Structure 1
Amino acid sequence: MTVKMIAMYLLKILGVLVGLILLYVVLGYLLPFIEVSAKDDGQKKEIPIYIYTNGVHTDIVMPVKNDLQDWGAKIPFSNIKSKRTDYQYVGIGWGDKGFYLDTPTWADLKFSTAFKAAFWLSDSAMHCTYYGKMTEGSDCKMIMISREQYKSLVSFVEAKFDTDQNGKFMFIPTNAVYSDNDAFYDAKGTYSFFYTCNTWANNALKAAGQKAALWTPSDFGIFQHYK
């Protein structure tokens, strides 16, 4: 094989890769505009939940405790630095374990971390954050849902936690927490370009019968439906 043939072969591969990246960007921008409508189950909408973003990652925020679910019993307050038990809400998000634990800021992002996350090569984790109150704004939207919708949401979220032989969520001991009110747990599934933290949150809204994007890799794709 001549040098010219090798060069042409490499250019073709590069062209395919660039084409795939452009297609991903286009679909990542356009598909979120296609809305999956909310499903009204006819029940009273009495339970508040929130979608909350830090600018990149979307969490589903729920009441810590009601008669349907006690998150404090499954995500122990003893696993957070503050040890406080008076929080009213808990935000839960799914994502790449490497991003969560090794990349506290974008400046800490390593190529190896990004590569593994993009191509199904690393583990995932649940990030759980307790809050005293929630304040609505451009980064936080409240949604009222019914009891049955909340049950469906809880089932969807719980199903993503990895569990031990006793069925308990598997706590990740680490100093890589973001504050004194959060903790990490092992999760099921693998992060990728096609199934991101925001894709998971978007699917959680679908599971609860709420408005959502057809598919989205970004928080923008979710929040544009809740302006």
Structure 2
Amino acid sequence: MKKILIISLKVIGIILGIVVLYVLLGLLVPFIGVSAKDDGEKKEIPIYIYTNGVHTDIVMPVKNDLQDWGAKVPFSNTTSKRTDYQYIGIGWGDKGFYLDTPTWADLKFSTAFKAAFWMSESAMHCTYYYTMKEGDDCKMIMISRSQYKKLVEFVEAKFDRDKNGNFIVIPTNAVYSDNDAFYDAKGSYNFSYTCNTWANDALKAAGQKAALWTPTDFGIFRHYK
């Protein structure tokens, strides 16, 4: 009995140690920045980083001569079905969090556990906007055409596709408003690679300022004060 108790205490100690280490790394590593890379081209395309306080989305023009998101993320998949939106925000994350946890009050232990340990599927959350308003939760970044191409390639690569190469919409009523929809995605969410880690990597792919690594939106936005 005593041996079992000692083993149990050691296991609990290890788990608590991992949690403390993770929290410390999540707070400190984001202060290590990755500098933007100037490709020498004119910075003419506006993109935004936008957070709802938990998730960071990459917001891009709906359409320009380099990419037409409306053709790949159909307006018809939103409740409004309107076609006059000017921007699209895209974020990657755990499907359970997105679809089953509209607020923190709805969070279940099973959802959090699966998300933390590579045990659930992921999804892309796509939200259309008419305009973007800069503030503490929304920062505009001007990038070049070449940088935008790299960003688009990075974002598209995370979408799962059907046999015809189309993005796969997730039939659900768990949308947040009348201007968004969910799509199947590649990869598994986990404590070391979160929705914000993905957004941070998207900025790196586009040659923009970013944290070395971050699990939180704070780690991204601290580089855009």
CA displacement at 1:98 relative to structure 2: 0.4
1:20 corresponds to: 18
2:204 corresponds to: 206
Alignment coverage as a number of residue pairs: 225
Picking from 82, 85, 104, the partner of 1:84 is: 82
Give the Cα separation in 2 of the matches to 1:176 and 1:41: 41
Q: Verify: 1:183 aligned to 2:191, yes or no.
A: no
Residue identity in the other structure for 1:108:
D
CA displacement at 1:92 relative to structure 2: 0.1
CA displacement at 1:166 relative to structure 2: 0.5
Give the Cα separation in 2 of the matches to 1:198 and 1:209: 17
CA deviations over 1:197-219 (Å, ceiling 9, x no partner): 00000000000000000000000
CA deviations over 1:163-213 (Å, ceiling 9, x no partner): 000000000010000000000000000000000000000000000000000
Picking from 147, 150, 159, the partner of 1:149 is: 147
Residue identity in the other structure for 2:109:
F
Give the Cα separation in 2 of the matches to 1:204 and 1:210: 9
1:114 is paired with a residue whose SS is: helix
CA displacement at 1:123 relative to structure 2: 0.1
CA deviations over 1:60-88 (Å, ceiling 9, x no partner): 00000000000000000000000100000
1:172 is paired with a residue whose SS is: coil
2:76 is paired with a residue whose SS is: helix
Give the Cα separation in 2 of the matches to 1:188 and 1:218: 20
- Superposed counterparts of 1:1-227, under 5 Å: 3-227=1-225
1:72 is paired with a residue whose SS is: helix
1:171 is paired with a residue whose SS is: coil
Give the Cα separation in 2 of the matches to 1:163 and 1:6: 49
Give the Cα separation in 1 of the matches to 2:89 and 2:4: 52
2:27 is paired with a residue whose SS is: helix
Give the Cα separation in 2 of the matches to 1:106 and 1:9: 34
CA deviations over 1:90-123 (Å, ceiling 9, x no partner): 0000000000000111111111101000000000
Give the Cα separation in 1 of the matches to 2:22 and 2:102: 26
| TM-score between both structures, scaled by the size of structure 1 | 0.99
Give the Cα separation in 1 of the matches to 2:138 and 2:196: 14
Q: List gaps (5 residues or longer) in structure 2.
A: none
1:8 is paired with a residue whose SS is: helix
CA displacement at 1:134 relative to structure 2: 0.1
Give the Cα separation in 1 of the matches to 2:5 and 2:105: 35
Give the Cα separation in 2 of the matches to 1:59 and 1:109: 21
Give the Cα separation in 1 of the matches to 2:11 and 2:110: 21
